[in-house]
Amino acid sequence: MMLSFMGTPPPEGKRLLSEIEVQYVKGVGPRRFEALRSIGVLTAMDLLYYFPRRYLDRTRIYKIKDAAAAILMTEEVTFVGRIKSVQVVRRGHGRNMMYIRLADDSGTMRCVWFNAVQYFANAFKEEELIAFSGKVTSYQDRPCLIHPDYDHLEDEADEAFLHTGGIIPVYPTTEALKRVGLDSRGFRRLIKNLLNNLDLYEFPPDPFPKEIISINSLMDLCEAVSKIHFPKDEKELNYSLRRFKFEELFYLQLLLAIRRNLIRHSPGLAFKEPGALVEKFGKEVIPFKLTEAQRNVLHEIFADLKSGHPMYRLIQGDVGSGKTIVALIAILLSVENGYQAAFMAPTEILAAQHYATLSRYLSPLGVETSLLIGGQKKKVRADVYSDIESGRTSVVVGTHAIIQEKVKFNRLGLIVVDEQQRFGVMQRMALQEKAGATRGEPHLLVMTATPIPRTLSLTIYGDLDISLIDEMPVGRKKIRTALRGESSRDKLYKFVREQVLSGRQTFIVYPLVNETEKSDLKAATQSFIRLRDEIFRGFKVGLIHGQMTDTEKNDIMLAFKKNAVNILVSTTVIEVGIDVPNATVMVIEHADRFGLSQLHQLRGRIGRGVHQSYCILMSEDKFLDEKKIQTSDEATTNRRLRLFASTDDGFKIAEYDLMLRGPGEFFGTKQSGAPPLKLANPVRDRDIIMQARKSAFELAEADPHLRDKEHERLREVLLRNYKDSFDFLKAN
């Protein structure tokens, strides 16, 4: 609920901090109230829960004379000093630079900004006291900070506080907040004043039962609120942070636990044992034996499908491990029991590819399969709608077009979702609501080729049962991976020609579609012309990227599958699901610009046939030659690329990638529906995740509706703070 400034004080007497509108906190006033309201800070309690984004630790403040020694350090450091000069250098084509010379009593150093520098030029004044934080790097053979974080420390109180107070909170801020004096300095004063006057208010009771507080050794809520803003030392800071990380993770796990209970007590479809159709498929249709891992996962799936409760199962399996065959057998069991199945893919290219695969296997069994994607003609789509509603179509493969209002299933029994993280909760929920005449909720089978570390899977898929296909089919050859610099380019092109002349095909992947003035990266469109007209003249070279129409992309991929195109120049549009067994070479340009999990997905596009495959990572020589490495960032890039080249273990790669990039960037898209994590990190906070999960699931098992008196406050917090996540309880 949005509040307006009323201009009158609250009634006398102690009131709960959660009921005191922030406008009545000393030091706020009308202008600051409007700014705070814009970021969701409406009450005094909201203000106390506006936590610092980082801290300045006086034990980690470096003297400028020690900057050179910090170049190869992986962690950020802080320098405090006064600005001696601000210089903007205009280099044309929008490539402006700004240099700041920072001085303390030990020397001076430079801080550098590239491009878009006008804002930063106006943000600093000569002789002001400031703290700059970042990784020290070498620029023009001198130690410097590039685009550092900063905190203005303009008055003597801040300076004294900084050097005697130990740990200084730094708050997230915006231009609107800064205009009313709420930079970090302003927030420190405002929150410190509120904490100093807590005896004027009633602090809300701790929602956690005493047993959970005791078992998990949690700091008292009031004390934790105070210490997270102004800890006296690192131990006190970590203890208070742990309390709020636990709190975030507990409420997420409680939502997952409640949803899991709902699933397990909901009526579902009870399938019979596999019969003649599944048996015929295994004996006559597939020309290979299933791996032990595939058989184990099928055993788990069959148990779910027979249970009478809806299946909610995630299959994790590396690229090429055989997830689709497992899903296909589950689909056949659904058809055998008189139900339809829907197979949902994130892109039209991938949907068309899955349709071709499923049709090839299902046609000999007399199972009718339809494709439903956005690019079809109206008459074709109308016929598909009719076949789905009448039940003539047993299996529907498509994109989000499947969840359109016009699509009506006759008896939907099983939903298979490929690359689940690319769909939002509401999209999956819409598909589940299309069960048609079925009595009970349809079963859900989710697949992903993105290896997900266990702790992350517990925060995102904590309500699903998880199956792992950790075995590759017999005869699959290991892909040879190599790192190469610009000095090896001629040899690379010779190798590609030899592969194409022997009948094989090649992917060449670029991070960009078009080159820009602001980037020195080679791009797919411009490189395609040079590769086609000069480097590989006489060969059939094609181009595919995300800005093409779906029809154009489908046409070029079909030509590549038929070997009418020998070399395909591409962006990451081919990252997921493209299956061309004859493609044996994957060249990834500017490999240092890709995340490790993305590189792993790209590498998975080859090695799918009987021939030896090769993945070549092209990068600047400075990232490959350890003798040329000058900065910590270059050293990290070197380690990333060498780790990737040394292993094909997707989970090992994913764990390292997650550690480097964080869970938000790991998937590229945010999981809609789930409450966000602001403090907790699934990589660093594994122990807290496990503790929070144990407590939450035990509580949900003992009191699934939170009706017990000691759980009333937990229920209130859940209803008040997580109401936007209640669709998350209903959907997967």
**465 in any annotated domain:** no
Per-residue pLDDT tens digits for 47-67: 999 999 888 776 678 899 999
**386 in any annotated domain:** yes
pLDDT at 385 over 50: yes
CB 524 within 8 A of CB 513: yes
Q: Are residues 359 and 293 in the same domain?
A: yes
pLDDT reported for residue 576: 62
Q: Determine how many CB atoms are found less than 10 A away from the CB of residue 102.
A: 25
pLDDT at 115 over 80: no
CB 233 within 8 A of CB 167: yes
Average pLDDT over residues 665-688: 65
Higher-scoring residue by pLDDT: 400, 158: 400
Higher-scoring residue by pLDDT: 219, 421: 219
pLDDT reported for residue 548: 87
Q: Are residues 424 and 538 in the same domain?
A: no
Q: Are residues 8 and 99 in the same domain?
A: no
Question: Strand, coil or helix: what is 56?
Answer: strand
**538 in any annotated domain:** yes
Q: Are residues 164 and 190 in the same domain?
A: no
**265 in any annotated domain:** no
Q: Please give the structure tokens belonging to residue 80.
A: 């405090």
Mean pLDDT of the chain: 84
Q: Are residues 603 and 630 in the same domain?
A: yes
Q: Which of 622, 647, 672 is the last residue of a domain?
A: 647
Q: What percent of the chain is modeled with pLDDT above 90? A: 40
Q: Are residues 581 and 600 in the same domain?
A: yes
**405 in any annotated domain:** yes
pLDDT at 575 over 70: no
State which residues form the domain around 185: 1-53+174-204
**708 in any annotated domain:** no
Give all strands (DSSP E) within 349-487, no chain letters: 369-372, 395-398, 412-418, 443-448, 465-469, 480-484
Give φ, ψ of 715 to 5 degrees: -60, -40
**704 in any annotated domain:** no
Q: Are residues 513 and 608 in the same domain?
A: yes
3-state SS string over 460-502? HCCCCEEEEECCCCCCCCCCEEEEECHHHHHHHHHHHHHHHHC
**269 in any annotated domain:** no
Q: Are residues 151 and 185 in the same domain?
A: no
CB 653 within 8 A of CB 597: yes
Q: Are residues 527 and 643 in the same domain?
A: yes
pLDDT reported for residue 107: 93
* Range in 26-40, 347-361, 448-462, 593-607 with the lowest mean pLDDT: 448-462
Q: Which of 124, 148, 170 is the last residue of a domain?
A: 170
The CATH number that applies at residue 142 is 2.40.50.140
Average pLDDT over residues 268-275: 90
Q: Which of 647, 681, 711 is the last residue of a domain?
A: 647
Q: Are residues 413 and 297 in the same domain?
A: yes
Number of domains in the chain: 4
Q: Please give the structure tokens belonging to residue 547.
A: 């800005």
Looking at residue 593, the DSSP 8-state letter turns out to be G
Q: Are residues 87 and 191 in the same domain?
A: no
Bridge-based pairing state of the strands 614-618 and 541-544: unpaired
The CATH number that applies at residue 636 is 3.40.50.300
Give φ, ψ of 308 to 5 degrees: 85, 0
Q: Are residues 556 and 597 in the same domain?
A: yes
